[in-house]
Amino acid sequence: MNDYWNHNTAYHPELLASVPHHTSRVLDVGCGDGLLLQKLAARTKHVTGIDPDATALSQARARFSIPSETRFILGDFLTSPELDTQRFDLITCVATLHHMPLIPALERMRDLLNPGGQLRVVGLAANKTIPDWVISGFLLVPIRLMSKAHRESGYPDMMTARPAESFTEIREAAARTLPGSRVRRRFYYRYTLAWTRPHSS
Ligand SMILES: C[S@@+](CC[C@H](N)C(=O)[O-])C[C@H]1O[C@@H](n2cnc3c(N)ncnc32)[C@H](O)[C@@H]1O
């Protein structure tokens, strides 16, 4: 599947707009079949994707038929030693944070950023409170209509998981781990988390 639209790819344009410049070092955590990686590689040549799913990673590699500087790491973001010595200007993470323990994942993202580097997460949260359920209920029909309008293609065959934390729990964890971060509820049953690593930390 080359290009497609779904509730995750809907946020690709704003992630691409976060690439600081054409020499930025970018990491996509849980790159899956590599659609975002492919788009990022058009903005900067220093792009790395990590995913523990060998099938998804081989699909990602197949997107880069010409020799490319894009790096692919088959492994777990939390423990991959290949990442330990690297630092990035932008880390993206789409529909993947809920596959990992929340605080350790946020801490590792924080630690792998250069000073001034940016973290951009598009995530899923669990409905736990009455406002969570009410908001989801109100969004149901408009989201269905938008999905039809965009001819939502469904989701590629990648590892999925149910989110464990609610939006409020994620916002609290982010406030503790990444002071100054911005966590917002977004339209397609997603939240976005944005943080810039201070130059002084
Ligand atoms: C729902 S898919 C999303 C893939 C892609 N980011 C997208 O937006 O289409 C979640 C991805 O997270 C990956 N994943 C799960 N645990 C991971 C971990 N510990 N480190 C890195 N990636 C992980 C899965 O293999 C899967 O490809």
* Residue 57 structure tokens: 């990673």
Residues with CB under 6 A from ligand 1: 8, 29-32, 50-53, 56, 76-78, 94-96, 99-100, 158-160
pLDDT digits (tens, 9 = 90+) for 155-166: 677 778 899 999
Note down the domain range covering 76.
9-126+156-196
* 151 phi-psi bin (left φ>0, alpha ψ -120 to 50, beta other): left
Q: Which atom of ligand 1 is nearest to the CA of 53?
A: 25
126 secondary structure, DSSP code: B
The CATH number of the domain holding residue 101 is: 3.40.50.150
Query: What's residue 47's pLDDT?
Result: 96
Give the residue, by CA position, lying nearest to ligand 1 atom 24: 159
**d(C-alpha 155, C-alpha 168), whole Å:** 27
Residue among 159, 188, 189 to mutate when testing ligand 1 (max atoms within 8 A of CB): 159
**d(C-alpha 53, C-alpha 59), whole Å:** 10
For residue 61, the surrounding DSSP H or E stretch is helix 54-62
Per the domain annotation, does 134 fall within a domain?
no
pLDDT digits (tens, 9 = 90+) for 161-183: 899 999 999 999 999 999 999 99
Counted domains in the chain: 1
Taking the chain (201 residues) in runs of 10, the rounded mean pLDDT of each run is 89 96 94 96 94 95 83 97 96 97 98 97 96 94 92 78 95 98 97 95 60
Per the domain annotation, does 201 fall within a domain?
no
Query: What's residue 201's pLDDT?
Result: 60
Per the domain annotation, does 4 fall within a domain?
no
